[in-house]
Amino acid sequence: MTNVWFALGLTVLAGLATGVGSALAFFAKRTNYRFLSVSTGFSAGVMLYVSFVEIFAKGGDALVEAYGAHWGHWINAASFFGGMFLIAIIDNLIPSAENPHETHAETEIAPLRDPTAPLPDFEAIAQAGPEGTHGIHDHGGYQRKLLRMGLFTALAIAIHNFPEGLATFLAALRDPRLGVANAVAKALHNIPQGKSVSVPIFYATGNRTKAFMYSLLSGLAEPVGAGIAYVALRVMVGEDSGGIPSYVMGMLFGAVAGIMVYISLDELLPTSRAYGKGHESVFGLVGGMLIMALSLLLMK
């Protein structure tokens, strides 16, 4: 039971980093895009390395032990792509303006911290369409249905964060080393996410306090999702001892690896490239892989 609380605690800490990002959006005088580029690239490097070197391999070992070499590897691969398919569906259901991984331009962020800053011309942005100004989104329509759109945004973000929280929780439950590394990567990932979450909610409600609180609470969807998933697993497939069968954990690890790889390639790396210049995102990516490799080697 101690491992469960440890895993849940790490997931909570990683989720709360969303509040740090939101606070930076509201109180920092200017956004440090270079830091965001390197940190999101670093996060992607950690998650990719852990997924392929540790999590996917551990899932394969558990499934091979349960089903044999032939079917174990097939089930592991199916679980991996199943995880990718799941997060892809969730991403596809979230409109781009509410997606917490969408990059927002400085002109969108400025009104959050400075009430005197001019609002973007949303009418012109809407007319420009998807190929309009980079990083500027049409938030003007939110003003017509503030409460409904604000709640929809918060719900969409919460749904998006559920599988991410499960990934952190299961990694920590299986191996505390992986859990700590993954929690650090998720926290770095959640800092720019928190900043991005604040933007659509602010334009949906026109209220800075609500935008900050919803952004902070959206990160808590990660431990909530992890807790619900764990309880459901205990009820459906739990053993008499209270544990989860190794073959189920193997499938979940394959799915978690797929989720983390998808997040890294579809969200973190493009965000890192959008925030940075030159090779900053690549340096962050390689640095994350290097630190992850060294930490795993030193902990063996």
Q: Which of 113-127, 219-233, 243-257 has the lowest mean pLDDT?
A: 113-127
> 210: buried, middle or exposed (CB in 10 Å: 19+, 13-18, 0-12)?
middle
**What pLDDT shows up at residue 123?**
56
Question: For residue range 40-74, what is the model confidence (pLDDT) as tens digits?
Answer: 888 888 889 888 988 899 899 999 999 999 999 99
Question: For residue range 164-221, what is the model confidence (pLDDT) as tens digits?
Answer: 777 778 778 777 777 787 787 778 777 777 766 776 677 666 677 877 887 788 778 7
User: What global pTM score does this model have?
Assistant: 0.70
Domain locations in the chain as residue ranges: 2-299
**What pLDDT shows up at residue 82?**
95
> Which tops the pLDDT comparison, 39 or 135?
39
Question: What's the whole-number mean pLDDT along residues 11-34?
Answer: 76
